[in-house]
Copies of this chain bind each other. A is one copy, B any other.
Amino acid sequence: MERPEVAGGGAPAPGRGREATRERILTSAKELFTSEGFGSVSSRMIASHAGVNVALINRYFGSKAGLLTEILREDGVFPRLITEGPPELLTRRLAEHIVSRLYGEGTLLQRALDHSAGDPDLQSVYQGRLKTAFIEPLAVYLDRENSRVHASLIAAVMLGMGRVRRIEGGDALRAHDREQLTERVLALLELCLADFGAPDPDDP
């Protein structure tokens, strides 16, 4: 009845075995999601590309959405955005990130997810990730009064820019001077962070 340290099954065989298979699914999925978008890639496509049976996706990741969750978990672009430089340049970092996305820069995977944003599955997975890997860490990072509100506002500006880019291709924004645009976004982000205590300059 005791569960042995290294469990029952056979030796991995050439390119098989739990870890190898998991990895192949992850790699293929990442590749396909990147080139085709989440919604356009079916479980069967992933399995076939990975040279693996369809059922194994569900066995190892629970569902197609679970597979995406795992991919995003390994990606880690959100936390990096917050902490990859000096705190006083946080807003500038974010502003430049936003604008660069307008120009089609940034991770292939990110672009792909932006592009194919859809499916209740992707929505819920992506949004969950956004909350736990961006908004909440950002609030902690800010570490002051109302930091949750400030973090939410920052997230709103960032997400909104992303959505507008998706809606109208970002043409209108890209047509404008990039540096001016970056400065404007920066100003918006800083306004998001402005203290609520500070009264309107016009007020007594």
Contacts and interface: CB of A to CB of B under 8 A. Distances in A.
Interface residues of A, number: 50
B159 A164 contact: yes
A123 B118 contact: yes
A130 interface: yes
Contact of A161 (B156, B177, B184): B156
A94 interface: no
Interface in A162-189: 163-164, 166-168, 172-173, 175-177, 180-181, 183-184, 187-188
Given A118-B118, A118-B123, A146-B176, A156 B164 contact: yes
A168 B117 contact: no
B172 A152 contact: yes
B176 A187 contact: no
Nearest to A123: B118
Interface string A111-153: 0000011111111100100110001000100000010110111
A72 to B, nearest CB: 14
A111 to B, nearest CB: 16
A192 interface: yes
A149 B196 CA distance: 28
A67 interface: no
A98 to B, nearest CB: 9
8 contacts: A39-B120, A151-B172, A155-B164, A156-B163, A159-B159, A183-B200, A184-B191, A187-B191
